[in-house]
Structure 1
Amino acid sequence: MIKNRDELEWIKRVRSGDRAAFARLVYPYRRRIYSLAYQKLNHAQEAEDIVQETFLRAYIHLHRFSCRHPFSTWIYRIATNLCIDRIRKKKAEVHLDAPLGREEGGCWYHFVASREKTPEEWLIDREQQWEVRRALRALPSNYRSVMLLRYIQQMPLSEIGEKLQMPVTTVKTRVHRGRKALVRRLASSV
């Protein structure tokens, strides 16, 4: 069920022909959909295309959306499906086991770059994660709780406000100040 009454109202307005309401409805999801698409496709332009296609499909098919489920789940499913379709279309037509020409010898596997991280990259990532966790633990509790909910659990500001029983403006302020404090702590550890 939709928790956000504004979303329900915007959906009703869009269904009655108000295009501006659609922009208000999808605007909060643009960054997360871009992030999702970028993680799956690893290409900025394609991720932007997925955001546009997601919003277009959501607009066209909004009449199919059931208000019994969260709107976010529905729109993320559209984006995920578009990413999957894009990946399928990009699959190579050449089989990696196919032999190369006589001069080259072997097969195509020799030309495939590994996507796995090197041990050095893996270690650097682990060290950076450890530094960020250490800096987060050192934040005052009022900033730490908001930062964890916002960036680790990726909760919207309104849900954080509900969970911590505080106004959204307070949440925004604490996120902003927490981010600044986190940057200072990370900069001082370098």
Structure 2
Amino acid sequence: MLRTVTSPVFKGTTAIEARQTYVNEGGGYHSETVQHRTQAVGQDRYYGQAIYLPPTWQFHNQNVTFQQWSPEDPEGPWELMFVQNDEIRIGGSGGFSATLGKITNLRGTWIRIVTRLKFHATDGAFEVWINGQKTWSRTGVTVLPKTSQTIRWSSGIYCTGWREGTPSGQSVLSVYHDHARIASSYALAEPANW
């Protein structure tokens, strides 16, 4: 379920709540907003947003994805950013996997995340900032969305562990999203700056 809420908000008067409820059935547990054709091979983009995990969020060892980048033609998941235990991580079929930062004491606060993707066969870049601090960087490497020329950006909630098992944490989960922007620089994408 996606809905507009007036609390909590990062700035302004509204935010988006992405919520999933476990109902003991197979298939994908996801609610998402999608922006198509956000980037093409050869381009350098910064994806910024603020996310909020409720103060009652129970850390657990299942992946709860809150944003992903996917090739469009042919389509499919590529790189996912997710909460697992008390960490923000990335992983997927794009060949990048890392722990980006601890969020042990950040429940009940807005977490600002900016991700840079520069698509290039030899001089690509994949970098992440959390709350204004660069926490991970790979530059001068291959960063390409498989065989597709464009990607889409999805933001919401994906309870991937529920497809094949029961929840390790709560059976109702919400991730709140605010101040999403795609830009040509870190400064423009950083939610604190606008």
Bigger relative CO (Cα 8 Å, ≥ 6 apart): 2
Confirm or deny a common fold (TM above 0.5): no
**Greater gyration radius:** 1
Q: Which has the higher helix share?
A: 1
Give TM-score, length-normalised by structure 1: 0.25
Give TM-score, length-normalised by structure 2: 0.24
